[in-house]
Structure 1
Amino acid sequence: GFQDIFLAMAISIVLVFLVVSGSLGSLRDSLVILLSLPLASIGAFVGLAITGRSLGLPAMMGLLLLIGLVVTNAIVLIAFVQQLRDDNFSVREALVEGGLVRLRPILMTAFTTGLALLPLAAFVGNEGGGIIGEDLATVVIGGLASSTFLTLLIVPIAYEFMHSTLPKVFRKK
């Protein structure tokens, strides 16, 4: 039931955090990347509201699926920003350049994933995924849409805050 899905979500978030932290070597960047998760829930719930679908187990399974999907956009962006920082770009320069260079791959990945799920979300009964597939696909499409656009906006702001603003605040003490 719902308890199992919530437990699976919690475990998934911890696993994603551990993998991202190990891969990027930065707890700070891992936290910035995890910020993309709540951004997905916005679109997921808007998608359910627009289509008149409810938050049942299939929709919750879609939210679980989103945990792995939405961090990808933030990882693609932040990993490239890290490379640019290693090449002596300032935080702001790395974010601007990283956003420009990674914009197209991020949009293409999200768009093609959402497009692939559209038939499952749109068709009823034997022609599509039925009630289970519809709710799951609606959540994933909505979550991908909101997280993609908000990740491109919010994640760079959070990254700059964590790497520029926050260190200055602690240095002044």
Structure 2
Amino acid sequence: YFLEYGGAFENQQRAMQHLYIVVPLSLFIILGLMYMMFGQIRYVLLIFLNLPFALTGGIFLLWLRGLYLSVSASIGFVALFGVAVLNGIVLVEHLNQMRQQGLSVREAVLQGSTDRLRPVLMTALVASLGFIPMAFNVGPGSEVQRPLATVVIGGLITATFLTLFVLPTIYDWIEKHERVPGMVDELDDITST
């Protein structure tokens, strides 16, 4: 005799197995594309710091609402990672452009963070507000929609906080420890006066 699960449980197990392949592959592709864009692994890793914060926020809100990590929640994490990485790219790319225009690290971080506050907040706010009806749906299909929306909303809250406050601080620290040709830093400011 043997016991075999079937039906919805079997479909869920199969979907989770596919996600174990698709999610790491997606992250690897994103990593490769960002490396081609920036040409330096340190900016890629800096942006990838958003992902643990996004993951933490998504899991915390799932737990707070009493929902389980399901296939739809896992798909929500994929969408969440995309938005979190996008917000990081928007900020880091702008900071790099400001450095190339001659601003010091500190000036670029302060001005660049202020410049990109609205775009990052708008992206997170629009995505979060768009998922609120799904997060509180009680009708047919809500068992699929609620975990997905909850993950995206919770993760965007923490990832946006990281993008706006922690990421610029770490960028400042990284840039002060590595001189990049063609970019101005505080030492150049001192020697030119």
TM-score by length of 1: 0.89
Gaps of 5+ in 2: 1-14, 180-193
Distance 2:104 2:56 in 1: 31
Q: Which residue of 2 aligns with 1:78?
A: 92
Q: Which structure 2 residues correspond to residues 78-117 of structure 1 after superposition, within 5 A?
A: 78-117=92-131
Contact 1:43 1:143 in 2 (8 A): yes
SS of residue paired to 2:116:
helix
Question: 1:83-132: per-residue Cα shift (whole Å, max 9, x none)?
Answer: 00101111121111110000011101100111011101111123xx4111
Q: CA deviation at 1:158?
A: 2.0
Residues of 1 paired with 2:21 and 2:174: CA distance?
A: 29
In structure 2, what residue type is equivalent to 1:161?
W
Flag as ranges the 4+ runs of structure 1 deviating above 6 A: none
Deviations along 1:56-96, one digit per CA (max 9) or x if unpaired, are 11111111221211111111100100100101111121111
Helix, strand or coil: the match of 1:59? helix
Deviation at 1:148, TM superposition (A): 0.5
Unaligned runs of 5+ in 1: 169-173
Calculate the TM-score normalised by the size of structure 2. Answer: 0.81
- Provide the identity percentage: 37
Q: Please provide the CA RMSD for this pair.
A: 1.4
Superimposed CA distance per residue, residues 148-173 of structure 1 (whole angstroms, 9 cap, x where no aligned partner): 112212211221222213x38xxxxx
Q: Which one has the largest radius of gyration? A: 2
Cross-structure match for 1:53: 67
- Aligned to 2:159, the other structure's residue is in SS state helix
Q: Which residue of 1 aligns with 2:173?
A: 161
CA distance in structure 1 between the aligned counterparts of 2:104 and 2:27, rounded to whole angstroms: 30
C-alpha distance in 2, partners of 1:122/1:66?
A: 18
Aligned to 1:55, the other structure's residue is in SS state coil
Match of residue 119 from structure 1? 133
Provide the aligned length of Structure 1 versus Structure 2: 165
Tell me if structure 1 keeps the 8 A contact 2:62–2:151: yes
